[in-house]
Structure 1
Amino acid sequence: MSVLVETPDRYGAYPRLSDAQIETLTARGERRRTQTDEVLIREGDAGYDFFVILAGKVANYEAHGTRDERLISVHGPRRFLGELSLFTGQTAFFTSVVAEPGDVLDVSADQMREAAVQDPGLGDLILRAYLIRRSILIGLGAGIRIIGSRFSPDIRRLREFAARNRLPYRWIDLENDRQAEELLRQLGVEPGRTPVVICPGGQVLRNPSNADLARVVGLPTPHMAEATCDLAIVGSGPAGLAAAVYGASEGLVTIALDAVATGGQAGTSSKIENYLGFPAGISGGELAERAVLQAEKFGASFNIPAEAKSLETREDGHVIRFADGSELTARAVLVATGARYRRLPVLNLEKYEKTNVYYAATTAEALMCRNDPVAVVGGGNSAGQATLFLSRYATQIRLIIRHEDLDRDMSRYLVDRILRLPNVEILRQAEVRELLGRDTLEGILVEDKQTGEHRIISARALFVFIGAEPCTGWLAGKIALDGHGFVLTGRDNGRGGSEGSALLETSQPGVFAAGDVRYGSIKRVASAVGEGAMAVRFVWEYLHKAGRAEMARTR
């Protein structure tokens, strides 16, 4: 039997606890002996305990006990087990097995969280390690296995849902991966009946909805029928997440909801480099994860996916109805649904939009077009960040802008980096006229606006970042919107407001708006966070004036 070597610690993923930190945890846990091959955490289980290894070794495996078994990491004394799912309540994405007998400290998840609050240094150490471990799992393609064709819209939907929610997954390509056919044969599934999702623990889902997948992996999906809260936040981008943190910390019963994932448009950014306090930059996904954990620490609840369909005001509060037929009653509502990138008005967009046209540039999208030529349309920071990120995966990138000067709408630090990339060509004064290809996108017809000349460029994927449309269709006729659908607030809301809570309040008293969805907002992460925090102050003022503040405080 081979001796398992302990995995080196990199970037703080596998730190060792100090004597003082172990002592803090010992007061809340139980020390016990372990035996070889004992399973401490089983893949697919939810609500597992926090383990500190005191003596011996523990190995983490994916698909333990099957022919697909893969060793992920090995840990020895003073290290702790688990990853981000212990904080979030998701299922375990690997199995932890005792490789060498010894002793462990067994602490319940609740007791671990209390210890982390009591000792901020310990809490920061565990959280940082868990965030990095989640990133490692995503990079390894551990966790969920999604089997299907690259040409399937449902495959793209499932992959995007997993990526946006930072769920570790591996896509097994029906066309190019030999393992796909064998797996489908074992499952008794015909290729034409894909996609198939194999979840941690072995549960098989056939073309599940996003809600079904969320439920199985443990994403927060509380049932909302007849539920009531103080503050309902619709949309969980930076503005919504900030409001969730401040609302819950101020004692409001707070529920945040989103149709797809936390993070909003910012969550699709591979790296945000101009947000205060993160000099090395931070991905939108990690920023969202940190914010969710922070909000949950104060008692906020999240519901994903939950697509709002309508808003109605009654005497007892504001009622939000959802696509699944459930509804939520709230004393105050914050609209933070943000905006989505506009669609290109070009020929054949519908033909390729579900398979080859993207409105985000994360690892999920990048892997879909690895070693392919791609095109990026847009001249703002989102297009610049996407170009930088995709340059590490695509063979060639054409950045298409309608004007001459890349500096006009893009931050200088992005422009300087893009100009140094050898695999990026900038097409200035250009517009996309048509998408070309047979079954999949193969090229793009581009027109030079100055000369009228047409050119076909090779592209297997098109990334579009050309301005935003607010996500306010569910609010039509309920609150005042401008001609483009953005929410009118403050002096613009039609009620003559000027100061105080009217600043972010809509035409409907008790309904507020923050972030990109609001008319006149500054499209930056920092300003959205600021508006989300401000909104909670205005919510309190509204509840006080409406005679509901005492009710909120005593819940």
Structure 2
Amino acid sequence: MRIIPVPDELTHYSSRRLDEVDELAWPVLSQHALDLLRSSGEELHPAPGELLWDAGDPTDLHLVLTGGVLLVDRRADRVVFVIEAGDFVGELGMLMGQRAVFQGVAMEQTAILRVRVEELRRLVEISGELSDVVLSALDARRRFLSRKGEGGLVLAGDDDRDLHRLQDFAERNQIPYRTVLRSNPSAWSELAQTCALPETGTAVVTAQRRVMTSPTTRDLATALGIDLWGIADDARCDLLVVGAGPAGLAAAVYGASEGLDVVVVEDVAIGGQAGSSSRIENYLGFYRGVSGVELARAAMLQAVKFGTRLLSPRSVTGLSQVPGGFRVRLDDEHDVLASAVIIASGVRYRRLDLPGLADLEGRGVYYAASQLEANSVSGRNAVVVGGANSAGQAALFLARTAGHVHVLIRRDDLRDTMSNYLAQRLTHHERITVHPCCELSAVHGGSRLSELTWHDRARDRDVRLDAAALFLMIGADPCTPWLHDSGVDLDAKGFVRTHDSFATSIPGLFAVGDVRADSVKRVASAVGEGSVAISAVHAYLASKRTF
């Protein structure tokens, strides 16, 4: 008999449901759900200690009938989970073609039902009950891993821009990880006992004990198997959506749910710019507000539920018309052939042209306010530049931890550009000061931002302030450089011009959300445009079939 790993005091057992997340993560399956899984599964009887799959292998759903399955963090050689009889093994990435983060090892007298992921996707599409149970469980497990810092991924290095870049990528893509700093000798030494760490720079240690030095986010995604839904060159689809913000995800959900073969390409993270919003309070149905990350996660689950293929991080570099539709070129030189295309690539905040600003990006200068950035301003000054809703949401979020938040706006009145409820909250918050008629003029700092200066036009004076962080949320430029040679009609600022039903100047090419000229820059309107555009896509595809 092979050696069976031994659980420790930190091991989590699937039968020990301690809170609401555990109840969702380890549901009791109904007889109907069990019958569905049995109808498409294969019963296996592994030997005690048998390796069922390794970290990095493709994964399927495994329902434990008797005995149990140990999920082992290979990097630390410890049992993270014991999956007991009646529960199933699976994680959110399974439905999106991602690889296993843990080894699976059989316990004594184990019998399991393996349902291949292709069959699971089919069952989720045809059974609402199974879909609700499985997707809720996979989502809860991802949240559990993120909360515990489990998942086999370690980001190690100094508290600098490069480490922040990788942390931000993991946070935005909801990848469970933990951070080990060189400034913590005990934790660094413990990690160094399991792998060879570089003397300088940032290191990433994967579940397979692979060490990557200062990888690009693309290389990291590939190594982790999260370059979602690897796709073959010249793959075909009915609809390709460029961008996975609210507009793009809405188009994907409605398109896929109505029978279209949908591919979504996103170059940063699922959720787009809205995914970095700390709190959205005026979105219909969420009276307590919803974070951009939560909204993006729910939308992603819906899209995957209906069979959408997600490519991320990938960017589109070109688009051309071909017989039958469009050829879309990706940054890995692969092409995707689509019968119709929806442009939902959104906008990006502008960079200010100030000396030294670029050098401090990721080291005190940020373009989003997540918990990762909020931790760095605890008890200190934070400065937000911008007068739109995103700036207001960021200021309120940062005020939870910052000693004080200063908001710089160029106009006289915050209500000119911000929703009234947000403007009122900022104006009356004891730890937020709004500075009208002010413009940032200088940043100061060596390895990190330490101070900044703004010019107060109303008083004609310069103000210098010590600050832990600067958040720039000013203006927005459309993400349309890839369209400049496509022939589509753009306005002087680069936004896509549209007419009836969000159609562009090229038949079969549509544009929705912030990237569209004269659009309303709100999450709700973006979702509405993305969903409504699907009717126009159907009409266009139907007209092609009539010839």
Shorter-chain TM range is: 0.7 to 0.9
Q: Is the 8 A contact 1:58 1:100 kept in 2?
A: no
Match of 1:9 in 2: 19
Q: 1:140 aligns with which of 148, 153, 171?
A: 148
Q: Are residue 433 (structure 1) and residue 441 (structure 2) matched? A: yes
Q: Is the 8 A contact 2:408 2:436 kept in 1?
A: yes
Residues in 2 aligned to 1:96 and 1:8: alpha-carbon distance in whole angstroms: 23
C-alpha distance 518-184 of structure 1, shift in aligned 2 (>3 A): same
Residues in 2 aligned to 1:171 and 1:224: alpha-carbon distance in whole angstroms: 34
1:295 Cα deviation from its structure 2 partner = 2.8
Q: 1:355 aligns with which of 353, 363, 369?
A: 363
Q: Is the 8 A contact 1:197 1:206 kept in 2?
A: yes
Q: Is the 8 A contact 2:426 2:434 kept in 1?
A: no
Q: Is the 8 A contact 1:376 1:397 kept in 2?
A: yes
1:131 Cα deviation from its structure 2 partner = 1.5
Q: 2:141 is matched by which residue type in structure 1?
A: R
Residues in 2 aligned to 1:134 and 1:14: alpha-carbon distance in whole angstroms: 9
1:116 Cα deviation from its structure 2 partner = 3.8
C-alpha distance 120-235 of structure 1, shift in aligned 2 (>3 A): same
C-alpha distance 550-253 of structure 1, shift in aligned 2 (>3 A): farther
Residues in 1 aligned to 2:45 and 2:334: alpha-carbon distance in whole angstroms: 48
Match of 1:463 in 2: 471
Residues in 1 aligned to 2:536 and 2:27: alpha-carbon distance in whole angstroms: 45
Instruction: Please list the CA deviations of residues 120-161 of structure 1 after superposition, one character each: whole Å capped at 9, or x if unmatched.
Output: 233213322322221222222223212223324x43332222
Residues in 2 aligned to 1:359 and 1:550: alpha-carbon distance in whole angstroms: 48
C-alpha distance 425-34 of structure 1, shift in aligned 2 (>3 A): farther
Residues in 2 aligned to 1:146 and 1:533: alpha-carbon distance in whole angstroms: 38
Unaligned ranges ≥5, structure 1: 491-501
1:38 Cα deviation from its structure 2 partner = 6.3
Residues in 2 aligned to 1:550 and 1:363: alpha-carbon distance in whole angstroms: 52
Q: 1:506 aligns with which of 485, 504, 509?
A: 504
1:197 Cα deviation from its structure 2 partner = 1.3
SS in 2 for 1:538: helix
1:236 Cα deviation from its structure 2 partner = 1.6
Q: Is the 8 A contact 1:383 1:465 kept in 2?
A: yes
C-alpha distance 7-176 of structure 1, shift in aligned 2 (>3 A): same
Bigger drift between 442-451 and 19-28 goes to 19-28
**RMSD after superposition:** 3.3
Q: Are residue 233 (structure 1) and residue 231 (structure 2) matched? A: no
Q: 1:269 is matched by which residue type in structure 2?
A: S
Q: Is the 8 A contact 1:45 1:201 kept in 2?
A: no
Q: Is the 8 A contact 1:64 1:95 kept in 2?
A: no
1:17 Cα deviation from its structure 2 partner = 0.9
Match of 2:214 in 1: 207
1:28 Cα deviation from its structure 2 partner = 4.2
Instruction: Please list the CA deviations of residues 18-66 of structure 1 after superposition, one character each: whole Å capped at 9, or x if unmatched.
Output: 54344544444466778876666654433132324x5666665545753
Bigger drift between 284-293 and 419-428 goes to 419-428
1:357 Cα deviation from its structure 2 partner = 1.8
Matched pairs, number: 532
Q: Is the 8 A contact 1:91 1:200 kept in 2?
A: no
Q: Is the 8 A contact 2:456 2:462 kept in 1?
A: yes
Residues in 1 aligned to 2:541 and 2:28: alpha-carbon distance in whole angstroms: 45
Q: 1:487 is matched by which residue type in structure 2?
A: V
Match of 1:518 in 2: 516
Q: 1:195 aligns with which of 191, 202, 206?
A: 202
C-alpha distance 57-327 of structure 1, shift in aligned 2 (>3 A): closer
C-alpha distance 132-156 of structure 1, shift in aligned 2 (>3 A): same
SS in 1 for 2:25: coil
Residues in 2 aligned to 1:395 and 1:98: alpha-carbon distance in whole angstroms: 52
SS in 2 for 1:527: helix
Unaligned ranges ≥5, structure 2: 1-5
Q: Are residue 486 (structure 1) and residue 495 (structure 2) matched? A: yes
Residues in 1 aligned to 2:378 and 2:48: alpha-carbon distance in whole angstroms: 42
1:464 Cα deviation from its structure 2 partner = 1.3
Instruction: Please list the CA deviations of residues 444-478 of structure 1 after superposition, one character each: whole Å capped at 9, or x if unmatched.
Output: 11222210222222222211112211111122252
Q: Is the 8 A contact 2:60 2:114 kept in 1?
A: no
Q: Is the 8 A contact 2:172 2:270 kept in 1?
A: yes
Residues in 1 aligned to 2:71 and 2:426: alpha-carbon distance in whole angstroms: 40
Residues in 2 aligned to 1:141 and 1:186: alpha-carbon distance in whole angstroms: 18
Q: 2:484 aligns with which of 472, 476, 479?
A: 476
SS in 1 for 2:449: coil
Residues in 2 aligned to 1:327 and 1:33: alpha-carbon distance in whole angstroms: 43
Q: 1:529 aligns with which of 527, 530, 533?
A: 527
Residues in 2 aligned to 1:51 and 1:384: alpha-carbon distance in whole angstroms: 47
1:336 Cα deviation from its structure 2 partner = 0.9
**Aligned ranges 1:2-401 → 2 under 5 Å:** 6-11=16-21, 12-20=23-31, 21-29=33-41, 42-52=54-64, 62-63=73-74, 66=77, 69=78, 71=80, 78-95=86-103, 105-143=113-151, 144-152=153-161, 154-176=162-184, 178-180=186-188, 183=191, 187-192=195-200, 194-219=201-226, 220-369=228-377, 372-401=380-409
